[in-house]
Amino acid sequence: QAKRQGKSSYAHFTPEMSEVSHERLQMESRMRRALELNEFELYFQPIVKTATGKVHAVEALLRWNNPAMGMIMPDRFIPLAEETGLIIAIGEWVLEQACLAATGWRAITGRDIGISVNVSPRQFRDSGFINAVMRALSNNDLAPQLLELEITERLLLDNSIETAEILRELDRAGIRLSVDDFGTGYSALSYLKSYPFDTLKIDRTFINDVTKTQGGGSLVRAIINMAHSLGLTIIAEGVEEEAQTLFLKQEGCDMSQGYFYSRPLPAGEFNEWLNTNHQTQT
């Protein structure tokens, strides 16, 4: 009896486990070929000036189009890309394509539009990272001031000298640095003084609370004021409703990003959006 039970629970356990690891292995091998098969694509989402709704910069957001799996969102494949180290090659591709795209927007609007690129910890710590960034800029003749690298607070948790040095070197080169998902990953704020950040992106969970709770608004107001007193630019992420834009305008939030203005769009559609936004009078 006991033997039978053991066997059946074993039989129940194994196929599920092997299915998961099989899926993982399959995804990993597909990801290894995705770059050469040209399956990655950048989507673009505008970051607008809160006061006017006019585009200020653009965030590049990665998508993976795989014939067998369809379009895969970054939250589903970035972690595996990190674990396997593939993020280093993928990240270089993203930097290159993002800088290339940014050079085209000037032709549409007649002025400089910045590009923001997400960087994950493994990529950031790779010894070739700074060179990859510089190469992407020079290959595309893009001014370093137009590139902003988005880093999450998690990266700063290790408190390492190396992290601080990489940030300082990027800063010295004129590249802008931002803290992505601000408020979700780290409780101490002292790092804001010791590292050369230019921008804080308030996580969308806080923006979501603005119109729903009294305290939510107070928290966002406090973050905006703190950022400004430290000389940082502030971006609200995940702005979806007009009521949120009114609050953010009133509180002097510099920039906004979210579905209210535009979803992330593929290059062609984004250029159309840019063209319209550029011509709209405010």
Q: Which residues bind ligand C2E (CB under 6 A)?
A: 45, 61-62, 73-75, 78, 94, 118-120, 150, 180-181, 204, 238-240, 258-259, 264
Q: Which is nearer to Mg ion, 30 or 204 (CB)?
A: 204
**Cβ contact 174:144 at 8 Å:** yes
Select from 39, 148, 150, 153 the one that contacts Mg ion (CB under 5 A).
150
Residues pairing with 200 in the sheet: 179, 234
* Sequence-separated (6 or more) residues with CB below 8 Å from residue 128: 88
Burial 114-137 (b: 16+ CB within 10 A, else e): bbbbbbbbbbbbbeebbebbeebb
Provide the 10 A C-beta neighbour count for residue 245.
20
Minimum distance between the CB of residue 258 and ligand C2E, rounded to whole angstroms? Answer: 3
The option from Mg ion, ligand C2E, none interacting with 171 (CB < 5 to 8 A, set by class) reads Mg ion
CB of 174 to ligand C2E, least distance (A): 21
In the complex, what is the shortest distance from the CB of residue 10 to ligand C2E, in angstroms, rounded to a whole number?
Answer: 38
Tokens 């990655």 belong to 40
> Smallest gap, in angstroms, from Cβ of residue 59 to Mg ion?
6
Q: In the complex with Mg ion, which residue's Cβ is closer, 126 or 171? A: 171
Report CA-CA distances (Å) from 160 to 87, 155, 175, 189, 201: 21, 10, 21, 16, 23
Least CB distance to ligand C2E at residue 2 (A)? 48
Given the rule CB under 5 A, which of 86-94, 130-138, 142-150, 242-250 is the region that contacts Mg ion? 142-150
For residues 18 and 11, what is the distance between their CA atoms, to the nearest angstrom?
A: 11
Distances (CA, A) of 239 to 24, 151, 184, 269: 34, 20, 17, 20
Which of 76, 166, 80, 78 has its CA nearest to residue 124?
166
Q: Which of 180, 199, 223, 236 binds Mg ion (CB under 5 A)?
A: 180
Residues 12-41, interacting with Mg ion (CB under 5 A): none
Q: Which segment (45-53, 132-140, 144-152, 241-249) binds Mg ion by CB under 5 A?
A: 144-152
Does 171 interact with Mg ion (rule: CB under 5 A)? yes
Residue 74 in contact with residue 63, Cβ under 8 Å?
Answer: yes
Q: Of Mg ion, ligand C2E, none, which one sits near residue 97, judging by CB under 5 to 8 A according to partner kind?
A: none
CB 244 within 8 A of CB 207: yes
Within 8 A by CB and 6+ apart from 263, the residues are: 45
Q: Which residue number, 30 or 166, has a Cβ lying nearer to Mg ion?
A: 166
Among 50, 118, 199, 245, binds Mg ion (CB under 5 A): 118
Q: Least distance to Mg ion from the beta carbon of 142, Å?
A: 16
Query: What's the closest the beta carbon of residue 212 comes to ligand C2E, in angstroms?
Result: 14
Catalog residues that contact Mg ion under the rule CB under 5 A.
118, 150, 171, 180-181, 196, 198, 237
